[in-house]
Structure 1
Amino acid sequence: MKRILLRIAVVAFLPLVLACQKSTTSPEKPRPVRTVTVAPADGRETLTQTGDIQPRRQTDLSFQIDGRLARRMVEVGSVVTKGQALAVLDDGLVQNEVRASEADLTSATSALELAKSSLARQEQLFVGQSVSQQQIDEARASVRTASARRDVAAAASLNAKKKLGYTQLFAPEAGIVTAVGANQGQVVNPGQMVARLATLERDAVFDVAERIIANAPADAEVRVHLVSNPDVSAIGTVREVSPQADPTTRTYRVRIDLPSPPRQMSLGAAVIGKVELPEERLVSLPASAITSEANAPAVYVVDLATKKLVRRAVRVSRFTGERALVASGLEAGDVVVTAGVSKLRPEQTVALADLDGGAR
């Protein structure tokens, strides 16, 4: 009997407990958020980068043979013309090689002439049956041997004369000497840098971030001016973009061709390059408004009718400082959350915060 009464009491009390729990569970309060109303605008952005002036090419010039440097006719900063002599080796040993090779060639030529004369006499005697066929064959073999030796001596003589030409170092093109690697009296090895020649053509060189590479048109004109004097400027075009980013800075090396730069733009001068991007209709948002959806940029848009959040994918054209320029995904009048997006979720109810901290 007691058990039955206890069960009746529990059954009667259970609805009261559930009612109390429901009464104590309050609905989630709307989360205050800061927002901005979308207003697309046509704009043209100017990208700016700092770089320096560098030669189009730099070549390390060296001798093809070893020897003692007899004279160096240029110094750092010397302006040279194509074909101008830059340095000379002591050619005494090479001159001896030339004379020895010429003597060998004379001796081999004389031996060949003697062998040919001997063959002619042997052939005349062979007509009169005075010599055998074997002697004729031996004479002809002597001529071939002498001819081969003469060819070897001629090649050696030619190589010695060319080697004599290697004792002088000439400029392959006009340029400026930017470094020297050997002094008079020093013994240099083949391939050792004696002078470094920079071409007169100059490039403006910049280390550019990937986002600028992606946004700047390939055929854009670049205005370059000196950091020390903005009035000294030149117009150039992109000549070369490094295909691989620097492993340390993650930037790309870009070379701007300057067809006729001012004289003040000397090698090593610090310059600033500017390029204007094509005009497009963009939405400027604080960078803090950008979140992600499926590894793609997105923003939270407030549905003004329900005051709930909608996560919407967008395409960000580029970032500038603390701003994100959105190219697509938003319409005029959309209300976008600008802060605290990492703690929000879709369908969450929010309250629009006023600038003074209130909510509506």
Structure 2
Amino acid sequence: MKSLALVLSSLLLITGCGEQTPARQSTPMDLTGLSGVAVTSQNTEQQIELDGTVEAVNRAVVSAQTSGRVTALPFDVGDQVNAGDVIAQITSEEQQAAVNSAMAQVNEARARFAEADAQLTRIADVFKKGVVSKAEFDQVKAAQQSAEARVTSAEAALSDAKQRLQYTQVIAPYSGILVRRLVDVGATVAPGTPLLEGVSLADVRIRVNVPQNSIQAVRKYRKAQIMLADGSMLESTDLRISPSADASSHSFLTLVEIPQNASNVSLLPGSLTKVAFVTGTEQQLVIPKNAVAQRGEVSAVYVINQQQLVFRYIRLGKTMGDKVVVQSGLAENDQIASDVIQAAAIYKQSSVAAQ
């Protein structure tokens, strides 16, 4: 009786498993047109996956460089700002008056220089004829040089006054997003007063703390993959690793730079992302991704074995482009169907015919 019960249990198990049971058909299947691919062994990269934080390379607080009262703040938090846009306006009456005064001093200095230069020209002619002494000539020449120096000084003062006038219009240093307004319209500011804070989205990087036990391998291979929101991976080989560990966490700050050709990638400062660092290499079995049949959370393949299809469960590892690592369920050189849909149709048809 015990043997009969075991036989019945086995029959029920086989019947209940259906397609999931790796049963082999007793008669050859018609595999015409079904292409297969061999399971191959490949040298793959071993990785450690860590959490990273996206940070902007250019993030700055713009401060006032002159005194006055804020008269306009054209942009608000969240607004897109282009490089060269006026992001704050400060009263300019005092600075304009300084420019006018400096201009008047320049005009006066130039007039005095013209007079001194003409005087030097006249006395140089009579000095050649021996009418005046060398001491008198030297005195006129020194006056001309002094007048020229006053012109240079006045022009420098004018340039400084014009620069201070330009400071009344605060210009965005680069394109980005305004993240904070630190003053309001009507506020009185002085040089150094913080006005606005902005961040550039054009140049970002990933900030990761690498554990001490992995830092040597990360330094050796200097290669990382950044996981994007759509599930794709972005590879970077530009890593900036701190030479010393943090005293409290014993981890090494590592900055993963975004490749220049990935400017269209959407990574927002402050957001979390996963970064996989290469720590070594290992021989592993790989198969094409399109040869894998998904049954919910379970992965399987159709193995071709002597004109038979065997539906076999496998355990997968990481994805590498159009291939995926097989951790268990297959052996090297096993032949599997490359077209899952066609293989499933042949398997189902043969199962029905065998009933």
- Report the TM-score range of the alignment, normalised by the length of the smaller protein: 0.5 to 0.7
Deviates more, 1:98-107 or 1:200-209: 200-209
Q: Secondary structure at the match of 1:86?
A: strand
Please tell me the residue identity of whatever aligns with 1:197: G
The aligned residue for residue 340 of structure 1 is: none
User: Does structure 2 conserve the Cα–Cα contact (< 8 Å) formed by 1:232 and 1:264?
Assistant: no
Please tell me the residue identity of whatever aligns with 1:244: S
The aligned residue for residue 109 of structure 2 is: 108
Q: Aligned ranges for residues 20-39 of structure 1 at < 5 Å?
A: none
Q: What is the CA deviation profile of residues 28-60 of structure 1, one whole-angstrom value per residue up to 9, with x for unaligned ones?
A: xxxxxxxxxxxxxx9975422222222123223
Structure 1 residue 261: Cα displacement: 7.2
Q: Secondary structure at the match of 2:155?
A: helix
Larger radius of gyration: 1
Q: Aligned ranges for residues 1-360 of structure 1 at < 5 Å?
A: 45-122=46-123, 135-199=136-200, 200-216=202-218, 217-226=220-229, 231-237=230-236, 238-259=238-259, 260=262, 265-275=267-277, 277-280=279-282
Structure 1 residue 101: Cα displacement: 0.6
Runs (5+) with no aligned partner, structure 1: 1-41, 282-360
Q: Secondary structure at the match of 2:245?
A: coil
Structure 1 residue 135: Cα displacement: 4.4
User: Does structure 2 conserve the Cα–Cα contact (< 8 Å) formed by 1:47 and 1:274?
Assistant: yes
Q: Distance in 2 between matches of 1:192 and 1:272?
A: 38
Structure 1 residue 179: Cα displacement: 2.8
Please tell me the residue identity of whatever aligns with 2:117: K
Please tell me the residue identity of whatever aligns with 1:207: N
The aligned residue for residue 331 of structure 2 is: none
Q: Distance in 2 between matches of 1:109 and 1:161?
A: 18
With over 3 angstroms needed to count, the CA separation of the structure-2 counterparts of 1:136 and 1:233, relative to structure 1, is same
Please tell me the residue identity of whatever aligns with 2:223: A
Q: Distance in 2 between matches of 1:76 and 1:127?
A: 73
Structure 1 residue 103: Cα displacement: 0.3
Structure 1 residue 258: Cα displacement: 3.1
The aligned residue for residue 27 of structure 1 is: none
Give the TM-score normalised by structure 2.
Answer: 0.57
Q: Distance in 2 between matches of 1:274 and 1:79?
A: 32
Q: Distance in 1 between matches of 2:186 and 2:129?
A: 69
Q: Secondary structure at the match of 1:279?
A: strand
User: Does structure 2 conserve the Cα–Cα contact (< 8 Å) formed by 1:210 and 1:252?
Assistant: yes
User: Does structure 1 conserve the Cα–Cα contact (< 8 Å) formed by 2:47 and 2:280?
Assistant: no
Q: Distance in 1 between matches of 2:46 and 2:221?
A: 16
Q: Secondary structure at the match of 2:254?
A: strand
Please tell me the residue identity of whatever aligns with 2:192: G
With over 3 angstroms needed to count, the CA separation of the structure-2 counterparts of 1:175 and 1:60, relative to structure 1, is same
- Which has the larger share of helix? 2
Q: Distance in 2 between matches of 1:137 and 1:279?
A: 84
Q: Distance in 2 between matches of 1:145 and 1:262?
A: 60
Structure 1 residue 132: Cα displacement: 5.9
Q: What is the CA deviation profile of residues 55-92 of structure 1, one whole-angstrom value per residue up to 9, with x for unaligned ones?
A: 12322322333333232233332222222222222221
Q: Distance in 1 between matches of 2:138 and 2:194?
A: 56
User: Does structure 1 conserve the Cα–Cα contact (< 8 Å) formed by 2:45 and 2:279?
Assistant: yes
The aligned residue for residue 28 of structure 1 is: none
Please tell me the residue identity of whatever aligns with 1:235: L
With over 3 angstroms needed to count, the CA separation of the structure-2 counterparts of 1:148 and 1:264, relative to structure 1, is closer
Q: Secondary structure at the match of 2:215?
A: helix
Give the TM-score normalised by structure 1.
Answer: 0.56
Structure 1 residue 125: Cα displacement: 6.4
| Paired residues, number | 236
Q: Distance in 1 between matches of 2:263 and 2:126?
A: 82
Q: Secondary structure at the match of 1:236?
A: strand
Q: Distance in 2 between matches of 1:220 and 1:48?
A: 12
Identity %: 22
Structure 1 residue 128: Cα displacement: 8.3
